[in-house]
Structure 1
Amino acid sequence: MKKIVSILIVLITISSQAQNKKWTLIECVEYALENNISVKQSELSLKATDIEKMTAVGAFLPTVNAGGSVSKNTGLSFDPTTGNSSTVTFLSASGNINLGYNLFDGLRNVRQVQRAEISKLAAQYNLSKMKDDISLFVANGYLQVILNKANLEVLKSQNAVTQEQIDRTTQLVEAGSLPRGDLLEIKAVDASEKQTIVNAENAIQISLINLAQLLLIKDYENFDIEDEGYDIVDEGISSKPVTEIIEQAKESRSEIKIAEQNVALAEKDVQIAKGANWPSLRAFLGYDTRYTDSNPISFTEQISLNDGVGYGLSVSIPILNGFSVKANVQRNKINLEQSKYQLEQAELDLESTVYQAYVDAKGSLKSYEAATTALESQQLAYDYAKERYDVGLTNAFDFSQSKLRFDNAKIEVNRAKYDYIFKLKVLELYFGIPATELKF
């Protein structure tokens, strides 16, 4: 009985710990990279390139095929072993094995292997880009939850001040020092703040659900994140010249590498298409034999006596094929030119995107600094209004307006802070820092 109780206690403890688990940002990113559907699809595309390479390598191997047939003939038939006609019923069988090998096919088999290797490299870059995108989505969703939680704490702490003011104002109204209208004004503020708190709690829940869905976590009720210790950590990326960040992005970002590999693939397709203009040379070897029960000779002897071997070389020289080869070459040349333009456009897009991210990071920092300055001013104004209200030199309406401006200033600081953190991390990603190594 004691063992059963001990087991139950352990299970309850484990269950409680699982329900109380708070996910860190790194845990969310790593979980998303392992479970996200888009990442899994990119991983499958990468595996498909192994099949492409296997097929290309297989073109260097000889082809071997075996065949056979068994038939029973009635009436006038020709004996397959003698060639003589007869009207007897007999059973006949034949078998063959053929081997073929491409000696030369315009180097298309060589270039197919090269193409498969390039295709695999492109798929690896696609997977890397997908992981970066998913990491960015997770970080954005995560910081949104933190922002909503920070805003809720602001609202709750300020509502606690309102509760204190209600108690104090009630005493002053009952003592006849303040008009009853002041108490009603503060109670109205309290009701408005509590409604705002409910909306803030709903915003947290919705943002948590959105993040859980991105991670493919279905237990929404128990899902929560670690919301402590996320501050602005700038390791100097934002102070670098934008040209340096752009050049680093061109060297490290997958968008450019993907476009470069697409150009390499297009070049290889042109070479493969041109290979069809060359003659192809193939070697072959065949063996066949036959048997019939109309012949008194034994099966083993017939197999030996009736066998034959054929071998040789075959050459195919393209002369006129309805311009299909020429058209295919031209089609692939056009595709190559399009790929080059796409590479050029990818470089321009990346340069524009990085520049925009740089400007956004700089702008969000200024916004955060301005919000911090504004908060300091609103703090002084609020403290002054509170002192005046406490001694009866201002009414409840004016005090509530000062308090509202102070609350909004705190919320704006939170918004500006996490907006800057996110945009700073975007800039660091473009600089080549892996998503799992970003610091907060």
Structure 2
Amino acid sequence: MLYNGGAIKNGIKESELRVESASIGLNIAKERIQLNVLMGYLDVLLKEELSESAKSILKITTDQMKQTRVLIDAGLEAESEMYKLKAQRASQELDVIRAESDLEMALLKLKQEMFFPDERHLTIISPKLIEEQIGTLDVESFDYIMDLAYKTSLEVKQSEVDIESSIYGQKKMKGLFLPKVSLNAENVTNYSSAQNTIRQVATGNKITMDPSPIGFLESNPEQVVYSLPYETDEYEIKDGYSLGKQWNDNMYQNVNLRVNIPIFNGFKNKAQSQKSKIATDKLEVERQKVEITLRNVLKQAYLDAKAAHKAHQSAKQELSSSQYNMDMAQKLFNNGKGSFVDFQVAQQKVFIANSNLIQSKYNYIFKRKILDFYMTHEIIL
């Protein structure tokens, strides 16, 4: 093919860009797996801390029961107080069982996200999350985040590559309306095993044939008529006709130039060209949707990170106040000046406040890492 309106060249470029788009799609799938694993990993850490929190509250009650037994034996507390503590410990033991069950489910989900065999043990190593770093909000301006995320977004890159590929597809379709020029050359020979036998072969020399009788005179049958002397090709007998000799003797060459000018084909080319243009327009709309979606996701993540930071700060203050109230209630209860109900309520508030703090911490970490991931496409804890 000497010329076909650039259809082959543009078709190759279109296919190369499709391969690039598929490669980007693979990386997008990998990133989604990374985010899912991150979410599962942080959920396991969250459930571990909630489990430890439930166990610590249970330990406080167990220790309180030992101290209350001493007071009862000394006649300073009624036996009924021990039954109240036992009921509270039973409730807290149920909280521990639920927390451990939640942890096991979180581990199972993480294994599934990692395609890790369920029956195999998975050791979770907790990162060193410095509380001072968690307690500070170092979030860049939204415009800065959006600009960086747009430049590095694989979804945006893929949409741009798809559009470029479609444009080359349009150029390929335009080549259908142009003449095509092609050059063809062939070199042909053959061989037959049937020819590989004894044969007569011309030597290239001429020989003179002697007169030979060809008839007689009608008026005198005894008078013989002879032919005139003549020249003819000289032949010789040869044994076989080899492959190489046959190929050389039967060689044939041919060269032709062809020009194909499209005139009319039922508007098929026109329809294909229009479909290609529509496909490009649709991809352009999809690119705009990708940009809008990216902006919305980032805006939501940005606001969530700020809200999560505020919630974490508030949860710290709530835990500090609840811890102080519980310590005071415990002292009063141990000295016989406070009621068990007040101590129980204070202890429950500490448990709830501590759970809120743990959840707000991991919620903020995840929201913050989402922003970091969109900017750097890396996950570092």
Listed as ranges, the gaps of 5+ residues in structure 1 are 1-101
Q: Would the alpha carbon gap of residues 302 and 383 (structure 1) be closer, same or farther in structure 2, given more than 3 Å must change?
A: closer
Shift of 1:209: 1.7
> Contact 1:281–1:316 at 8 Å: present in 2 too?
yes
> Which residue of 10, 16, 20 corresponds with 1:121?
20
Q: How has the CA–CA distance of structure 1 residues 219 and 140 changed in structure 2, closer, same or farther, with 3 Å as cutoff?
A: same
Instruction: Give the structure 1 partner of residue 115 of structure 2.
Output: 216
CA distance in 2, matches of 1:393, 1:220: 53
Which residue does 1:375 correspond to in 2? 319
Match for residue 333 of structure 2?
389
The answer (yes or no) to whether the contact 1:368–1:416 under 8 Å persists in 2 is yes
8 Å Cα contact 1:121-1:261 kept in structure 2: yes
Which residue of the other structure, out of 32, 37, 49, is the alignment partner of 1:133? Answer: 32
Change in 2 beyond 3 A, CA 1:111/1:242: same
Aligned counterparts, 1:37-436, within 5 A: 102-218=1-117, 220-231=119-130, 233=133, 238-291=138-191, 293=194, 296=199, 298-300=241-243, 301-431=245-375, 433-436=376-379
> SS of the counterpart of 2:186?
strand
Q: Return the alpha-carbon distance in structure 2 between the equivalents of residues 424 and 256 of structure 1.
A: 22
Offset from partner CA, 1:233-285 (integer Å, 9 cap, x none): 47998432111111111111111111111111111111111111111111111
AA partner of residue 435 (structure 1): E
| CA displacement at 1:221 relative to structure 2 | 4.6
**CA pair 238-126 structure 1, distance change in 2 beyond 3 A:** farther
TM-score, normalized by length of structure 2? Answer: 0.83
CA contact (8 A) 2:2 2:183 kept: yes
| Identity within the alignment, % | 26
- Name 2:212's counterpart in structure 1: none
SS at match of 2:2: strand
**Partner SS, residue 104 of structure 1:** coil
Supply the AA of the counterpart residue of 1:264.
Answer: E
Is the 2:142–2:302 Cα contact (8 Å) retained in structure 1?
yes
Moved more, 175-184 or 201-210: 175-184
- Identify if the C-alpha distance between structure 1 residues 188 and 234 changes in structure 2 by more than 3 Å, giving closer, same or farther: closer
- The whole-number CA distance in structure 2 between the counterparts of 1:236 and 1:255 is 31
TM-score (norm 1): 0.72
Which range moved further: 288-297 or 207-216? 288-297
Larger radius of gyration: 2
- What is the distance in 2 between the residues matched to 1:235 and 1:255? 32
Relative to structure 1, the CA distance from residue 241 to residue 277 in structure 2 (aligned partners, 3 Å threshold; closer, same or farther) is same
What is the identity, as a one-letter code, of the residue corresponding to 1:244?
A: Y
Are 2:5 and 2:179, in contact at CA under 8 Å, matched by a contact in 1? yes
Q: Is the 8 A contact 1:183 1:396 kept in 2?
A: no
Contact 1:237/1:428 (8 A) holds in 2: no
For residues 327 and 156 of structure 1, the distance between their equivalents in structure 2, rounded to whole angstroms, comes to 71
In 2 relative to 1, CA 291–166 (structure 1 residues): closer, same or farther, beyond 3 Å? closer
**Amino acid paired to 1:145:** V
Distance 1:142 1:213 in 2: 12
Counterpart code for 2:168? K
Kindly tell me: are residues 234 and 322 of structure 1, through their superposed partners in 2, closer, same or farther at Cα, counting changes over 3 Å?
A: farther
